[in-house]
Structure 1
Amino acid sequence: MELEAAVWLSISLIVLYLVWETVSPIISPIIISLTLAYILYPLHERLARRIGNRVSAFTITGILTVLTFLFMIGYALWINDVKESLAYYIDAFFRWLLEFHLPLAIYDLIQRLAEDIPRRFEQYVLGYTYSLPKLSLQAIVMVFAFYGALVNARGLGEEVYSLLPEENRELALKLIRSTERTLHGILRGWLAFSILKGTTVAIGFYIFSISSAGGAIAAGIFTVIFELLPVIGGWMIWLAGAIYLFTSGHVPAALAFSAYSAVFVSPVPDYLLRSKLGKRETGVNSLISLVGIFGGYLAFGIVGIILGPVALSLLGTLLEEWKKTKELRAGTSS
């Protein structure tokens, strides 16, 4: 009997190893597709009531496919320009930052990010520039996984709940709720808002001829990063662009860009939407979110922006349950 159990255990481990080796090369596009499906599911749900579940999923997936195709074209055309512009902006930002007296711990953390972001970005660029078929394959996987996630969202949710163990069902439900709360606050609130601002800044930089297309994209990336930092915000990027236009003698363009950015980037969107986003972020500690986003990025790359906050949120839930269990046992023993 023990021999039979050992054989089945060995077979199971071999199967799990083969499955992991098969899935690991495409794990990033799968996580991205599930993230996008989670963000867009409320839209899909409203649209499905009018045109049906499959038609709604097919329509949204079609739009995502077009955007993915345009992204790949832009990637091929502008990625080197983006890389050079990003390196230039990071260098300029840190030369400016050195003028302030920051605490050593904060400075070391920011400096590590400044060194790591260009390096990782360079790795992504080199990895995909010389292997566009790999990027295309991952894009195809992302699109199909996204469609499957939207179409089968309810079924997948029911399947997850059916697999919860009965003896620890309450703890499992708390972990699921903690994950949902974190994803809701991070993805549909904080991160989505930051990406929207970054896109708006990139469009503004290009329309007002502050930089080339690659430089505008780099400015958008910087805006997203700055929006995720406390105190600092995306307003610093558009302000730098406005100062550049003003000092270059393009005063009307500087005023027009400032008005555009104030209305669509900051502070008007902050005033109108931050209160709503604050309600959505209830229960999500901003410090934990910040550490999770950047720590997750340093550990896992782009997908770590999602995995990091979720992991810390789950850890917090487990610690709370452990404290409650310890207090309950102490009360019972006394």
Structure 2
Amino acid sequence: MRRSHSRTAGFTLIELLVVIAIIAILVALLLPAVQAVREAARRTQCQDHLHNMVIAVHNYMTNYGCVPPSGCYDGVTNGGTWSIHARILPFVEQNSLYQTADLHTTYDLQPQVAGQGIDVYLCPSDPNDKKRVSGAEEHYPVCYGYNAGTWDVWQNPRGPGGNGAFTGNGKLRDANYTDGMSNTVAFSEVRAWTPYVRDGQDFSAVTPLSSISVGSISGANGGSMKGTRFGEESGPAGQASGHTEWVDPRVHQTGFTATFTPNTVVPVSGSGGAAADGDFNNCREGKSCTAPTYAAVTSRSWHPGSVQCVLLDGTVKTIGENLDLQVWRLMAQRDDGQPVKVP
């Protein structure tokens, strides 16, 4: 009598490997799509943040009759004055924090305020959303810089300020924006924890023609280098501490300039570190600086190939990094007499 042998159902090794390979291919195909959807969501949230900041500026104007100054400098107090971002706190749903702050006292003495992260000031695509601690001081980054103009930011010790949307000691009103609020950038993206060079002094009032020229000048004039890589907390040049203090009004912390187009690599260098892509402030605004403040603080983002900015009328624009430099500079000037329609 024959015995029947039934074969146990199951996968062979080859079949299993084929299934795994198919799954891997599907994951590889789907992952970019998932990442694209997530980036689109982050970009939309970023746009909302920028729009809300301009709404806050307009609410400030309604209450005080002018846009907030980029800083208040009396020629006596060295630093410590508060930023635009601090002045509009009540209008970005941060009134309780605003009530905690004393804007008549230096922010250096108020870590309970300066060390607070403000969601609307942070881009969800920026990987360096982290507190900066320096001794007793605590600070939190910012990802949206005010428009300080094209190059000439501030004439020490008491001004005037630059040609951008906001100025130090300024009380700009609607009538000051002769190019139109719909043609003038208010805020644009910047990267948190940006390397920068400061206090080289003795620079020309002529706006640089290229990022290479800024790099060579910054190295020759002995400015102090702060970090060599984005997000660097410690290194040969210390912290890459640009745009890590939302309370600080100085342009390398809460502003940007249209010296160069968005995402331009600017190879700055100075004492304490090798050349790095970063920002440049030849003489920080405040009483200890006697030279005019010229700054190349580039608008940068972590969105691929572009940055997002918001105009003073609240319109949010995505600006490609290949935009013509002259157009970008005209967009940053409030009253140059050459209004351009933002692409």
- TM-score between the two structures when normalised by the length of structure 2: 0.26
Q: Which has the higher strand share?
A: 2
Larger Rg: 1 or 2?
2
Which has the larger helix fraction? 1
TM-score where L is the length of structure 1 = 0.26
